[in-house]
Each structure stands twice: as C-alpha cells, then as structure tokens.
Amino acid sequence: MRDFIIKRLQNSIIKLERVGVKLRKIEKDIIMQAGLLLSEALREISYPNIPGHELEHSFRVFELAIYIWWHERKGDFRKIVFSALFHDIMRGKENHAFYSAKFTREFLKNKNFDDIADDVARIINEHSYSAKLKPSSFESAILQDVDRLDALGAIGIARVFAYGGHLKRQLYNPEDPTKGESLGHFFEKILKLPKLMNTETGKKLALKRVKVILEFIRQFFRELNLLE
C-alpha cells in the first residue's frame, strides 16, 4: 500500500504541474509526508471499497484541492492536503464525515501532528453534504467544493451509476425517470451542486462540469423517447 500511495501521489504532482500548478520542494515534501501517514492509517483500518467512493476518489479530491489552492492563492497547504486525503477514510460508516474527522484527529495527535489535528478534523467534519454545514475556514470551503466537483462531469456520471449499482438501484424509474433510482439522483442532488460552490475556481469548474451532465441527461431522454 505504501509504495502504491507514493507512486500515485507522484503521479498527481506530475499531473498538477502539467496543468500549470507550480509546487515547491516544501509542498512536495508535505504531500509525501501525508501519503506516508495515509498508508500508515490504512494499516490500522482498511479503506472502504464502495463503488464510486473508492480510494481513487480521495486522490482526485486531493488533486482538485491543490488545483483550487493554487488558483485562489489562499489557504494552508498542509491542512488542505491532509483533509483531502483523509476526508472519507470512514466512508463505510453512517455519518462518515464525523467519524472520518474523529479518526483523523486522534491519528494525527498520535503521530505528533497536534498543530493541525483539530483544524483538519473540523475541515473534514464540515465536508458532509447532508449536514449542510457552512465552511468555517477557507480550507473547509475548498474541501466542500472539490468533493462536490468530483460528483459532477463525466466522472460524476460514472460515480452515480457505479454507486447506484452498488445500492441495487435501477438505471432510472420507468414511471418517472426524474425521480428515484440512479437517474433521479441527478435531479435530486447532483444538479444542485453548482449553486453550493464556495470558491470562484470551484464555481468555474462546476459550471463546466454540469454542462456535461445536462448534455448526458438530454441525450438519455432522447434515447428513452426513441429519438436520435
């Protein structure tokens, strides 16, 4: 797991640099340190393997978080990196934001990261969509945005159907495709996400990604209605 995470994060750095995010050595060191700690945490507990919410979701969230941090020129880098990588570590539990925050706070305190443990835990706790908490810091605003961005765009579409399959949902409700099952989830939650963005960069990315979803839904209904 350790080697896998380190390689995966090196890959993240390459991707970020390719899109213009310039990271200094000190920031790359923080990323690797967080990766090592994540691999240690995953020796204590196993990451829940829920379709659409796999560990890869946390890596994407982490990459988007750094992307927004770079464009906004604001926020504590360490807190952003740690909160992104650990935010769903207890995804298998109900009220997972609370339990991911609790686990991360205790884990970081045990590893002598007392200076950021409480703040990282607060950021993680506030990412919950259902709790509808207002972000109490800019780092928290970023985590909310990036977690929601990963539910939009082509990846967001893939996640809705992967998770829907996991919950044994049908592709759509034949009585009313806008309600319930997998397709209904776009109307009930996903299409509302762009309005909830906190940061300017988040808003910009969300608008682009929601267009992909709208086009997908339009075509879905065309096919349902035997139109080309």
Interface residues with Fe ion (CB under 5 A) are 88, 147
Task: Give the nearer residue to Fe ion in terms of CB position, either 78 or 127.
Answer: 127
Task: Give the nearer residue to Fe ion in terms of CB position, either 172 or 185.
Answer: 185
Task: Give the nearer residue to Fe ion in terms of CB position, either 25 or 132.
Answer: 132
Rg, Å, the chain Cα set: 18
Work out how close the CB of 196 gets to Fe ion at its nearest, in angstroms, rounded to a whole number: 14
Task: Give the nearer residue to Fe ion in terms of CB position, either 82 or 172.
Answer: 82
Work out how close the CB of 90 gets to Fe ion at its nearest, in angstroms, rounded to a whole number: 9
Task: Give the nearer residue to Fe ion in terms of CB position, either 53 or 78.
Answer: 53
Work out how close the CB of 78 gets to Fe ion at its nearest, in angstroms, rounded to a whole number: 19
DSSP string of the chain, one letter each residue: -HHHHHHHHHHHHHHHHHTT----HHHHHHHHHHHHHHHHHHHHSPPP--TTSSHHHHHHHHHHHHHHHHHHT-S-HHHHHHHHHHTTTTTTSTTHHHHHHHHHHHHHHHTT-HHHHHHHHHHHHTT-TTTTPPPSSHHHHHHHHHHHHTTSHHHHHHHHHHHHHHTT--SS-SS-TTSSHHHHHHHHTGGGGGGG--SHHHHHHHHHHHHHHHHHHHHHHHHHTT--
Work out how close the CB of 174 gets to Fe ion at its nearest, in angstroms, rounded to a whole number: 31
Work out how close the CB of 48 gets to Fe ion at its nearest, in angstroms, rounded to a whole number: 11
